[in-house]
Chain A
């Protein structure tokens, strides 16, 4: 899992560092930088995948949009600390917004202190192997193009872990309703490949997904149905079991095409389907959008118990209230902007006055009983 994340000079994140738990939940006022944090994690892990220009296009950003507004440099520095099995690793890197590459990077095994991989001065080395010049073009991290044959097993594990970080911070029901041709095991940033993604899921995973929705969220739900139509486009429908009009003892199957499925159910499908994948870290922005408070508890329980690491943002006191106190103390992070417009963070239930409220109120109630605006001002003064 990602245990710590540091980034400098990325949008409103300047010398920004935060610790992550297996389940981490960002709260804060609108515009405090919660989504920016998700974008930063997505950005850094995209560097391992390469294709930075494409990634920027998907977000409709230019390279300059990545940088802090009052930037003094074109470089974004970051450090990601990872815990993979029993070892700790740090990936330190510097990304240049002009070249779209990382001219300096280093992966260290923090447990042994060994440098596993290093890039500097247009050359790289792996372990104790000799330096090799970099005489080719690439985007992002050098690891995005190096073949498995030249990497150690440890490095492959780290790279694969970072590749498996998946953000769906732009999930949009409008995009999810679209038909898609190919998913390549990817839902798309906005969920635009949902139909093809579900089509590609194995029968076993589909059946697990169907059962999960039926048992926990919507009793009338039967299954997700994906079919190939002309030119390979995939059509998504859901099947529900409803009673016949003239005979309440008999049921019939009601098929609803994606364009008529509710926003909440589509979002739920997208979120739950990600839990069926091999992605090891999942990022969701405003996860509660369109989801009825009555089923939020089940969603929170799933997010906390899933083997994947989860990083979400929320404005929902209901969602927070379904997190156990001890978990909330570790997981809930308050984000705010200081007077310079720079995003800051603090574990919410370690803040004086807020921690006391948790003795008597639920985590969500405690959030509602604090003026986040005034809290941001007070913390900015400290």
Chain B
């Protein structure tokens, strides 16, 4: 069985640990974990064993373990945050002998603090995995946010590419969360998002968005290689 280690921003993407047990294997799966699980299952026919590293655990480890990373010709400004998260997740994956590690980060945030381009964020994540020595790291970077991919399922996979042009600013009426709310009539809580992504038939084969395709292609390639 394929062993997968995932880490994200919070419960509405990769999920959350069950307090107070905090068992990394017995966690509440978020909608993005479900999509990853479906892609692996489609390739291997088996449900993978997935464990979650909470964001707080990852940042604490990154703070205490990692070396200073300076921007320069080989490493652009604004990428250190993504690089270091991936570097530490890669190290944990190596220690735990995981087959695949997936790091999720949105493409929201301000231009001054994060690369505005999702590809640059994904590249920083891949660089971090590579430098940690873990070869099977996958960047999961939706544009603009995870809800845009869910929205694609909700609108029957029509014109999904356009969804990447929605705003990442939560106060905007064009934020994917607001649009999900308009369509479903309910606030997109973790439970509601999980229902769409995990329980209802959200078909990963039909989601056609550049940011999703990059993630899917990378995950499929690695799954095929290790399978």
Contacts and interface: CB of A to CB of B under 8 A. Distances in A.
Interface size class of A (residues with CB under 8 A): 20 to 34
B226 interface: no
Contacts of A357: 80-81, 113
Contact of A361 (B77, B80, B110, B111): B80
Interface string B50-80: 0000000001001100101111000001111
- Classify the secondary structure of A's interface with B: helix
A99 B112 CA distance: 45
B90 to A, nearest CB: 14
Contact of B81 (A317, A352, A361, A378): A361
Contacts of A378: 110-112
Contact of B62 (A353, A360, A370): A360
Interface string B90-125: 000000000000000000011111100000000000
Contact of A353 (B59, B77, B109): B109
A210 interface: no
Contact of B79 (A354, A369, A375): A369
A368 interface: yes
A53 interface: no
B84 interface: yes
A223 B24 CA distance: 60
Nearest to B68: A365
Most A Cβ at <10 Å: residue of B70, B111, B112, B114: B112
Nearest to A376: B112
B85 interface: yes
Contacts of B114: 353
A371 B84 contact: no
A286 to B, nearest CB: 19
A317 to B, nearest CB: 8
B146 to A, nearest CB: 17
A370 B85 contact: no
A352 B168 CA distance: 14
A371 B81 CA distance: 13
A195 interface: no
A304 B84 CA distance: 29
Nearest to B109: A353
Contacts, number: 67
A369 B110 contact: no
Contacts of B69: 361, 365
Contacts of A321: 68
A76 B109 CA distance: 39
A353 B63 contact: no
Contact of B110 (A353, A359, A362, A373): A353
A356 interface: yes
B81 A368 contact: no
A263 B155 CA distance: 67
B157 to A, nearest CB: 33
A350 to B, nearest CB: 13
B68 A369 contact: no
Contacts of B77: 368-371
A374 interface: yes
Contacts of B63: 359-361
Contacts of A372: 112
Most A Cβ at <10 Å: residue of B62, B68, B85, B113: B113
B113 A353 contact: yes
Given A321-B68, A362-B68, A369 B81 contact: yes
Contacts of B109: 353
Most B Cβ at <10 Å: residue of A368, A375, A377: A368
Contacts of A373: 112
A360 B77 CA distance: 15
Given A360-B62, A360-B63, A368-B71, A374 B112 contact: yes
Interface string A328-371: 00000000000000000000000011101101111011001111
Given A360-B85, A362-B68, A369-B78, 11 more contacts: A353-B112, A356-B81, A360-B63, A365-B80, A368-B71, A369-B77, A371-B77, A371-B78, A375-B110, A375-B112, A377-B112
Interface of A: 317, 321, 352-354, 356-357, 359-362, 364-365, 368-375, 377-378
